[in-house]
Amino acid sequence: MSLERDKPAIPVTHHESPAGFVIFEPRGDRPAREEPFLSAVLANLRRQSQATFVLSLLFLGIGIALLVIDAVPVLGVALVVVFGLLALYSVFAWWSGFGEMRALLETPIREVRPQPDGLQHTGDSVSVRIGDGQASWVRGWLPAGYRALLARERRVWVLGPSARGRVVLVLPGSVLCAAAKTTRAPRRGSRPLPEVWQRSSAPKDDPVLTAHLGAARRLHGGLLTLFSLTVAAAAFLPALALFENWTPMDIGELPLIAVAAAVFVVLVQRIVRSMLRLRRVNLAARAVTWTPLPARLDAEPKIIAGYFARATARVSWPDGTERTVQLGRVSVDLIANVQASGLLWVIGTPEPNGATLVGVPGLPVLNHVVVKDRVS
Q: What is the pLDDT of residues 174-231, one digit of tens each?
A: 998 888 889 999 988 999 999 988 766 788 888 998 888 888 788 767 767 776 776 6
Please tell me the total count of domains within the chain: 4
Instruction: Determine, yes or no, domain membership for 121.
Output: yes
- The average pLDDT across 285-302 equals 90
Choose one of 285, 315, 340: the last residue of a domain: 285
Instruction: Determine, yes or no, domain membership for 88.
Output: yes
With a pLDDT cut of 70, the percent of the chain lying above it is: 73
Answer yes or no: do 63 and 85 share one domain.
Answer: yes
∠ Cα 318 323 329 (to 5°): 115
Instruction: Determine, yes or no, domain membership for 27.
Output: no
> Is pLDDT of 169 > 60?
yes
HSE-CB at 317 with a 13 A cutoff on CA atoms is: 17
Answer yes or no: do 117 and 50 share one domain.
Answer: no
Answer yes or no: do 364 and 297 share one domain.
Answer: yes
- The average pLDDT across 298-323 equals 89
Answer yes or no: do 300 and 346 share one domain.
Answer: yes
Start-to-end Cα distance in the chain? 12
Choose one of 136, 170, 192: the last residue of a domain: 192
Q: Of the candidates 142, 289, 274, which has an alpha carbon nearest to the alpha carbon of residue 217?
A: 274
The whole-number pLDDT of residue 299 equals: 86
pTM exceeding the 0.95 threshold for the entire prediction = no
> Is pLDDT of 65 > 50?
yes
> Is pLDDT of 142 > 70?
yes
With a pLDDT cut of 90, the percent of the chain lying above it is: 28
Residues 327-349 have pLDDT tens digits of: 988 999 999 999 999 999 999 88
Instruction: Determine, yes or no, domain membership for 74.
Output: yes
Answer yes or no: do 360 and 321 share one domain.
Answer: yes
Domain span including residue 321: 3-20+289-374
Instruction: Determine, yes or no, domain membership for 124.
Output: yes
Chain-centre distance for alpha carbon 252: 41
The C-alpha atoms of residue 156 and residue 31 are separated, in whole angstroms, by: 17
The C-alpha atoms of residue 340 and residue 337 are separated, in whole angstroms, by: 5
Answer yes or no: do 62 and 115 share one domain.
Answer: no
Q: Which of 36-40, 83-87, 289-293 has the highest mean pLDDT?
A: 289-293
- The average pLDDT across 281-289 equals 80
Instruction: Determine, yes or no, domain membership for 26.
Output: no
pLDDT confidence of 264, banded at 50, 70, 90? low
Answer yes or no: do 215 and 249 share one domain.
Answer: yes
The whole-number pLDDT of residue 22 equals: 83
Answer yes or no: do 129 and 185 share one domain.
Answer: yes
Answer yes or no: do 59 and 78 share one domain.
Answer: yes
Instruction: Determine, yes or no, domain membership for 347.
Output: yes
Write the DSSP symbol of residue 148. Answer: H
Q: In sequence order, what are the residues at sequence separation of 6 or more whose Cβ sits closer than 8 angstroms to the Cβ of residue 274?
A: 220, 221, 223, 224, 227
Residues in the chain, overall count: 376
Instruction: Determine, yes or no, domain membership for 32.
Output: no
Answer yes or no: do 188 and 126 share one domain.
Answer: yes
